[in-house]
Structure 1
Amino acid sequence: MTGAPWADNTRGAALMTLCMAGYALNDTCIKALADTMPLGQVLFLRGVLTSVLIGAWVGCHGLWRVHLSRRDWSRVALRTLGEVGAAYFFISALFHMPLANAVAVLQAIPLTVALAAALFLGEPLGWRRLSAILLGFVGVLLIIRPGPDGFNTYALYALMAVAAVTLRDLSTRRLDGSVPTMTVVLFASLGVTVLGAGLGGSEVWTPVTAQAATLLVASAAFITGAYVCSVMVMRVGDIGVIAPFRYTGLLWSMLLGLLAFGDFPGPVTLLGAGIVVAAGVFTFYRERALARR
């Protein structure tokens, strides 16, 4: 039995599913720009649009004035660094990998966060969860295995994105609960915009066509919607019921990858993704069981 009403859990599950759909749609728009626009230009233009949308949210909710301790400022800076690294490595991988394959690697994030929390934050990690984490890493190896044309080195970029997101999430765990979530997200968006400007200085920018502009605006809207849903979902229902719905992101990515690019993961990749998801769900429920004790 959960502590939240059934209606709240249903609403929370729907919000989590919408959140994952927003991220998947954003990834689809970004990948569609790969052949027409360099990485730095994409990051900068989308970053500007996203920062404006998130800034408007922050302003409407009166979250501009933030009084943080020096320790929280350092954690916000570290979280922003993780977000910037994740954006660079994941979008670089996304430009050169099938959508579902790149997203499948990201499903290892709950496992890496649990392992890193045990190593760096002293959180307990029993043999059951450690075994699940090791099994999950076997699934990751199945996803990024060498293919008929050789190993895709950009799969390593996807792994670096996992490491960067792990840094981001660990920093978020250490933030004081009074720090407004969307304000922190705004700093992250501004950081990615600065990264795009830095990369763009060494690139040859291309003219922004009507199609590219539409994809950029849609990408900014989808990722902003995902951010908002990610905030709302933490305020309703039982997290033990809602959290596993984060893995619907992989289903969205497989569907969108097939419809937009004609890509669909092979049997071994699907097996690896299934192992990673199963390990993640087990790890999460084990954490919940220990927390109740």
Structure 2
Amino acid sequence: MDNLRGSLWMILAMAAFAVEDTFIKTAAIALPVGEIIALFGLGGTAIFLGLTWARGERALVPEAARPVMLLRIGFEIGGRVFFTLSLAFTTLSATSAILQAAPLVVTLGAALVFGERVGWRRWSAIAIGFAGVLLILRPLPQSFDPASLLAVAALLGFAGRDLMTRAAPPILSRMQLGVWGFAVLIPTGAAMVAVTGGARLPQGSEALALCGAIGFGVLAYYALTAAMRMGEVAVVTPFRYTRLLFALILGAWLFGERPDLLTLAGAAVIVGSGLYTLLRQRRVPPPPAAAR
């Protein structure tokens, strides 16, 4: 029963993430990307500060200044900036499809950075997954869109953030990590606006889009946390890929996106490779305990 509830929480989280992306893309039609990032960070910081204090925790703790946390912040900034730029300049469908390769990149990083054991089958799945990314990018002179590299940069940023989260001090709760993850977006967005200009007070539908992005972003974060704590990780994690389904539906419905055959094929290859990697990970026995 816990696995069923965890899976439902994961599906809710992915649906909320897809709606959040839709609101951000809508806001980016009229507002500068830097302003969106700064206001998104401001709203998320306020909410997570409240949740942190409600749990009797402090946001300012010495562990937040450790080198691994600074690396996490750097990856968080890179992932969020490039992701927002990708939503602004490319389709929701293509951006979401490329980001589905994140579990593959995390698996690769875990092997290279943490020395985790990865057999030849999972290495093969990672390589095939990256081939799926190339199908979407189509790196040929006549069909390549340089803006699609924004999603690749976002993918690397978010994967690096997830890896650094695994190495973060265990004393830091998810709420405290959420505070810092959102807080660093405020000066980042402000710096972007200082360079690009064009900031103005959001009006009407723009303000609603930003509020929607913040609200659904927090809901998604909460649902994701509930899913990972309630069910077995190997059972609930595959439902992350439902985010692509929601993105395809919302992209077609709201923005008139019609992904071509290569994009859909690339997305299918990425999802299939990721699912296989997760299944193989369940079968790999844990390393023997070290002798005392």
Deviation at 1:18, TM superposition (A): 0.9
Q: What is the rounded CA distance, in whole Å, between the counterparts of 2:57 and 2:146 in structure 1? A: 42
Partner in structure 2 of residue 285 of structure 1: 279
Which sits farther off after the overlay, 201-210 or 140-149? 140-149
For residue 22 of structure 1, the aligned residue among 16, 25, 37 is 16
Q: What is the rounded CA distance, in whole Å, between the counterparts of 1:148 and 1:223 in structure 2? A: 37
Q: What is the rounded CA distance, in whole Å, between the counterparts of 1:291 and 1:223 in structure 2? A: 35
Tell me which amino acid in the other structure corresponds to 1:209. Q
Deviation at 1:207, TM superposition (A): 3.7
Partner in structure 1 of residue 75 of structure 2: 82
Q: Deviations over 1:105-135 (max 9, x none)?
A: 0011111111111112211111000000000
Matched, 1:107 2:79: no
Partner in structure 2 of residue 195 of structure 1: 188
Q: Could you state the TM-score of these two structures normalised by the residue count of structure 2?
A: 0.93
Q: Deviations over 1:126-173 (max 9, x none)?
A: 100000000001100011115997421111111111111121111111
**1:219-230 counterparts in 2 under 5 A?**
219-230=213-224
For residue 57 of structure 2, the aligned residue among 46, 56, 63 is 63
Matched, 1:53 2:44: no
Tell me which amino acid in the other structure corresponds to 1:47. G
Partner in structure 2 of residue 159 of structure 1: 152
Tell me which amino acid in the other structure corresponds to 1:138. A
Q: What is the rounded CA distance, in whole Å, between the counterparts of 1:261 and 1:8 in structure 2? A: 37
Partner in structure 1 of residue 290 of structure 2: none
Partner in structure 2 of residue 258 of structure 1: 252
Q: What is the rounded CA distance, in whole Å, between the counterparts of 1:146 and 1:138 in structure 2? A: 11
5+ residue gaps in structure 1? 1-6
Q: What is the rounded CA distance, in whole Å, between the counterparts of 2:169 and 2:10 in structure 1? A: 23
Aligned positions, number: 286
Q: What is the rounded CA distance, in whole Å, between the counterparts of 1:136 and 1:11 in structure 2? A: 29
Tell me which amino acid in the other structure corresponds to 2:214. A
Q: What is the rounded CA distance, in whole Å, between the counterparts of 1:156 and 1:284 in structure 2? A: 26
Tell me which amino acid in the other structure corresponds to 2:173. P
Partner in structure 2 of residue 182 of structure 1: 175
5+ residue gaps in structure 2? 288-292
